[in-house]
Structure 1
Amino acid sequence: MPLLLLDLDNTLLDRAGAFRAWALEFLREIGAPERDIDWLVSVDADGLTDRWDIADAIRERYELRIPSIDIVEALHEGLVEHTKLDPLVACALRIADDAGWVPVVVSNGTVRQEDTKIRRTGLDRYVADWVISEEVGVSKPNPRIFALAAERARMRLRGAWVVGDSPETDIGGAAAVGLPSVWLHRGRRWMESRFAPTRTEDGLLPALAAVLGA
């Protein structure tokens, strides 16, 4: 029974889609043109930009008088509202489980993700466990977080695969710990020269099919 170490945002859950849905609603609320969605998505940088910096950028661009904290809270609530578990993802996880794989989430982020994403979406019913960086004090690509995931599942790392969309944290982490990996390219080209994924796929479903068939 090998481990399947899975990233959370934009791997198991469509974080980019949830942000875009919130951003469109927010732009309509403040009377901004819908075409500004591309600017707001670029500011977010796929979730890498701090939410307070996003709020400050919004306030400056649209000369808003509302406090930054209100925008930060609106963003948080919007992401929670729009983050859903795709039934096909749930089905794929069930198939992997039936095939003898043990899915474990390995995510960089705050412990709040456990309630707002993993449990709220019902993802907890389809994975064996999860490890969140803030909780354990170590982040991907540090190999230690993958070892902790194996410990939590009471399994060995040997034979595990890593699946994720981040070249540095997911694929780099897999390379650091010596594990095969699948990179979800999401329309991007692989640019890293220091390491490379074992497989490249355009979504979680083909990624899991590749792992099960390996």
Structure 2
Amino acid sequence: MPLLMLDLDNTLVDRDAAVADAVAEFLAAHELPPADLAWIVDLDANGYAPSADVAAAMVRRYGAALAAPVEALLDNGAADRVALLDPTREALARAHADGWSCVIVTNGETPQQEAKIRNTGLDRLVQGWVVSEAVGHKKPEPEIFRAAAATVGLPLDGAWVVGDSAHADIAGAHALGLGSVWVSNGRTWSEESFRPTHVTVGVHTAIDHVVGAPSR
């Protein structure tokens, strides 16, 4: 059974849109400038900025009185707002029906990431998942991909990685000699030292490409 490892945030689900929605609500609830949405989104850096750093910057800007609401906002991470689109759900079902074992490989905090997986129903569509906080390794470190393979008892040989991050997903796959599909989300590839095996705009077409791709 071949192994397909998939990123979660901004690959399987649109994390950035969910975060922007949550931040906009936070700003409105506390009568803060709506224009600060861009500042907070920039601070967040697509989820790669440490939440403690984001919280500290927000508290400096808004005052200690909002420390608890800021913490609640960041702890939730918009886990209650992410959604799984039907084309993605259907592509995962096709992959499983075709004999692929799908495992989510995600950086982040375990409660937040597992809440996203369960809230969207991904827990019923994939065969396993690993979260960096739980395994003590972050993408692109090879250990997290090895842990993902171990969750379903499969070797990494012949596995594929699908994700939106050049430095976390595609670099990790490249280092291990695995096939990879970069979900561009409309961006242009800019890395010169390595490249994905394939590029698609969205995750459902990425999954379909892998399922139809020859074994490596």
Normalising by the residue count of structure 1, what TM-score does the alignment of the two structures yield?
Answer: 0.91
Go from structure 1 to structure 2 and tell me whether the alpha carbon gap of 1:137 and 1:98 turns closer, same or farther (over 3 Å shift): same
In structure 2, the residue matched to 1:94 is: 93
Name the structure 2 match of 1:178.
177
Mapped partners of 2:24, 2:113: distance in 1:
26
Distance change in 2, residues 1:94/1:81 (3 Å): same
The 5 Å alignment of 1:68-79 reads 68-77=67-76, 79=78
Matched residues, number: 213
The superposition leaves residues 147-182 of structure 1 with CA deviations (integer Å, 9 ceiling, x where unpaired) of 221122111212211000111110000001100101
Q: Over aligned residue pairs, what C-alpha RMSD do you find?
A: 1.8
Residue 53 (structure 2) aligns with: 53
For residue 158 of structure 1, what is the aligned residue in structure 2?
157
1:87-166 to structure 2, matched below 5 A, reads 87-113=86-112, 115-166=114-165
Give SS of 1:192's match.
coil
**Secondary structure at the residue paired with 1:181?**
strand
Retained in 2: the 8 A contact 1:187–1:202?
yes
Larger mean Cα displacement after TM superposition, 168-177 or 192-201: 192-201
Q: Distance between the aligned counterparts of 1:66 and 1:87, measured in 2?
A: 41
**1: CA distance between counterparts of 2:69 and 2:25?**
15
- The percentage of aligned residue pairs carrying the same residue is 44
Residues 181/115 of structure 1: CA separation in 2 closer, same or farther (3 Å cut): closer
Gap regions ≥5 residues in structure 2:
none
**CA–CA distance in 2 between the matches of 1:201 and 1:50?**
29
Distance in structure 1 (CA, Å) of the matches to 2:2 and 2:58: 45
Partners of 1:78 and 1:102 in 2: CA distance = 27
Superposed CA offset, 1:24-69 (max 9, x none):
11121222333332222111110112223223323333x4342424
Instruction: For residue 13 of structure 2, give the secondary structure of its aligned residue in structure 1.
Output: coil
1:25 maps to what in 2?
Answer: 25
